[in-house]
Structure 1
């Protein structure tokens, strides 16, 4: 295995035979998982794959392909082929697997005019409202074929274009209470990755002329995804917090999810297309990571990839939006009319096209937030402060809102969370006392209502849901403190506010 070398208090480099610039950002208190380092070493053999593909089919590349650099954020941990926390910059080709199945998994944050103590007093009522809204058919998001088409082709911007104000059943009444211009200005790329076509999602579109509902839009998904009601615990940068409308004691709502099954379908579709263009004359990559050459007018595989990724990404933007609206409706059911202003929404599983010295490069972020600075945020509400960066802790721990510095060392990126300390399988062994204490102290809303007597008597149901929660409990994750310290001290972003959970909704 290639050797790690610490070069300062926040950075390590990884020696490798390819001469690729590989930097891991982690201070001495952030644990580095050996399995993640092994996976990183395996990933770097991508260099051999792209060289071999270029040697036998150079005409498929617009330029000589290059891995420009690799940065790993402090939540770096093993995934499936490519570690979470990877920021990979390439030119001449893209790596579809480098964003995983959950295309445009990301974070969204709203602020309210509610006081946290007031919400805590109504916690039982809010839990009941959330369970009904998120899991018991309380959500109502009817859509016509033309609505879904606009969503998949143009994201939230497309929905604003085609959904008339008179169409206001269920969550659409809340959608029409949001301001188009302000909302779009607070979403990365205005919530719209323009696609030319839709691939493999005919069943989701439904039938023309009919209103229907589907199980995907407004769904949280599994794993570490959530909708969380939070309290602004501490203001860490008064100037930026004031500009973003935050005050201590205020209730915020954070949404973490992506494209769920739609992303899985889209990812499977375009990865099969990428495997099809792998040259027959060379062996398939041992690490299972294929490359997609980028050259205009060679064939349509590149266009299919960008369109399919955009379809899933646009769905994910809309999915997070509706989950936020569902949280808003739950609050109003319990506490009356409430303001619900969007602070920001950004992906952390995506490929961004960039311009570097006249070259089009591709920044792949897998589990890494964009953290762009003032210049990159010109013509947005964040031009004077940098991009909002949302970094959740483990379930039950603090989350943080930061302001991006545009740090070149991570390609203007930061961590997207605390990062796992142990695998989901390992979290099921031991930790009994810690998990019992966690469940006593923390309020989590799931499809299973632990308060109901008939549920508490069903040991099979209880054990299955508790096992899922156990995999996401705090002992399974790194401490959020050292991760935030590394982000701050390395210069990626400036902490603005600490957010403490009041109640978390899990799928």
Structure 2
């Protein structure tokens, strides 16, 4: 597959020529590498047009309105995934595409400011590593939940936890939860950390027993792949006015969390995708690309309700999961430095479906690996009403991350990239790059469940090889340079850079 289907429109935009005449814009300047395999996957995804035409022709009464692909935009961290590329922003009317948000429902980013400086942290980095390994990987997380807490979490997210967890219940990380201000916290989470669901589907094991407290390995788990908890410092201020308003100062230590709904999201996603697949009309051929749709109409009302409830269950879990990971990082800091302020700046998903009414009728914006980046008008009534939505864009492990302010750019449906994006596949990253990987290990501090300095671990080559392979797949050489991605975001008008954050230590699952 070549890149001949892409036609450059200007310095930041390319148009994808496709057989369906769908307006597809890829945002990438000339310095951003583009995978041919990702372009091929994007072309295959557009076979959605054939699917909706076939089903609408065979079963028009299943749709309340004629189904339409309204727009497709691709962010500069565009890369191949499984059926639908990462970096896809798909807007539809008349139908939903559950697969268009991937398996990790409400994967997203969270950022906290602290009262520590980078110099303080660097002076005690070994002690902090020990504290993090204890809390994140050695049974130190301590997040007991009763059945009512878990049900409230799945039905109402973080709002549900504030409503049901009494302040007298302060075991483990709950003591940190009670130190947060409810109104201030919820105002700094996209959709207040609550996607209302009417019921819980397929997550009975997570709910646990009604009669006793229950602990599990999911809540407060980082997950695999490129997920992380990272201690960073504010390296550069790029917009002084906004940085001041958002409380960002040079040298400040920040905590960034990148994760989602882990196995809870996988279970919910598998459940509703199976339901949607079973509803494909028997008289219509199966989609060649394997991507099923859910018509929005009277015949599928129960299936639609099931979808929103299941997605919201997983999304609510993900909001809480990021929150608890941040609390674990806060507890790690206080174990080393004593009382420390840890204040939420923002938390937002980048794998989700949003209902919108901006065109005078209901449409559905599917974001897979794309941050919402709304302008100040859309953020009225929030702490970001004067500057736009915070956009958190991490680089690869060891590279800088960026905080930006959204412009509400219509060309991407008010969205921006969610990271640097892979330059090569995980398989390709295992071949060659030996010198680059060794240099990365020498220069960067990564905390994993495996402590490579322990004598017993040194003698277990199988354990060391497996964990080093995991790190190698996420090393900097496997990702695009963050600089050209940020330049595209800025120059195209998606968002304005506010601050550069440099990593000090990363915790990986």
TM-score band w.r.t. shorter chain: over 0.9
Counterpart of 1:495 in structure 2 is 497
Matched residue, 1:278: 280
SS at match of 2:362: strand
The alpha carbon displacement at 1:237 in A equals 0.3
Query: Alpha-carbon deviation of 1:340?
Result: 0.4
Q: Match for residue 170 of structure 2? A: 168
Return the alpha-carbon distance in structure 2 between the equivalents of residues 423 and 279 of structure 1: 35
Structure 1 partner of 2:184: 182
Per the TM alignment, residue 165 of structure 1 is displaced from its structure 2 partner at its CA by 0.2
- Residue 319 of structure 1 is matched in structure 2 by 321
1:409 aligns with 2:375: no
Residue in structure 1 matched with residue 137 of structure 2 by the alignment: 135
Separation (CA, whole Å) in 1 of partners of 2:252 and 2:269: 38
Deviation at 1:56, TM superposition (A): 1.3
Q: Deviations over 1:269-293 (max 9, x none)?
A: 0000001110000111111000001
Secondary structure in 1 aligned to 2:170? Answer: coil
1:198 aligns with 200
CA shift at 1:357, angstroms? 2.7
Counterpart selection for 1:90 from 80, 83, 92: 92
Q: Structure 2: 5+ residue runs without aligned partners?
A: none
> 1:458, 1:17 → 2: CA distance?
54
Distance (Å, rounded) in 1 between the aligned partners of 2:194 and 2:298: 22
TM-score (norm 2): 0.99
The answer for the alignment partner of 1:78 in structure 2 is 80
Partner Cα separation in structure 2 for residue 86 and residue 284 of structure 1? 23
- 1:67-466 to 2 correspondences below 5 Å: 67-296=69-298, 298-466=300-468
Mapped to 2, the partners of 1:295 and 1:321 lie a distance apart of 36
Contact map agreement 2:417 2:489 (CA 8 A) in 1: yes
Report the CA distance between 1:457 and its aligned residue. 2.2
User: Mean alpha-carbon deviation: is it higher for 205-214 or for 232-241?
Assistant: 205-214
The equivalent residue for 1:472 is 474
Deviation at 1:130, TM superposition (A): 0.3
**Structure 1 residue 297: Cα displacement:** 6.5
User: Structure 1 stretch 293-302 or stretch 363-372: which is displaced more?
Assistant: 293-302
Over residues 431-484 of structure 1, what are the superposed CA-to-partner deviations in whole Å (9 max), with x where a residue is unaligned? 000000000000000000012122122211111100000000000000000000
Query: More displaced, 15-24 or 92-101?
Result: 15-24
Whether the 8 Å CA contact 2:351–2:370 is kept in 1: the answer is yes
Would you say the 8 A contact 2:62–2:299 is kept in 1? no
TM-score, with length taken from structure 1? 0.99
Q: 1:61 aligns with which of 52, 60, 63?
A: 63
CA distance in 1, matches of 2:195, 2:88: 22
Structure 2 SS opposite 1:217? coil
How far the C-alpha of 1:209 sits from its partner, in A, is: 2.3
> Are 2:111 and 2:345, in contact at CA under 8 Å, matched by a contact in 1?
yes
How far apart in 2 are the matches of 1:497 and 1:356? 31
Displaced runs of 4 or more, over 4 A: none
Partner of 2:33: 31
**Residue 343 of structure 1: how far off its partner (Å):** 0.2
CA distance in 1 between partners of 2:129 and 2:298 (Å) = 52
Tell me, in whole angstroms, the C-alpha distance in 1 between the residues paired with 2:499 and 2:300.
49
Distance 1:111 1:296, change over 3 A: farther
Q: Distance in 2 between the 1:211 and 1:491 partners?
A: 49
Matched residues in 2 for 1:126 and 1:464: separation?
24
Cα offset, 1:358, TM superposition: 1.8
Displacement, 1:3?
1.5
1:296 positional shift: 4.5
Helix, strand or coil for the counterpart of 2:449? coil
* Cα deviations by residue, 1:167-224 (Å, 9 ceiling, x for unpaired): 1000100000000000000001000000001000001001112111011000000000
Structure 1 gaps, min length 5: none
- Separation (CA, whole Å) in 1 of partners of 2:297 and 2:114: 47
Q: Using the TM superposition, give the Cα deviation of residue 298 of structure 1 relative to its aligned residue in structure 2, in angstroms.
A: 4.4
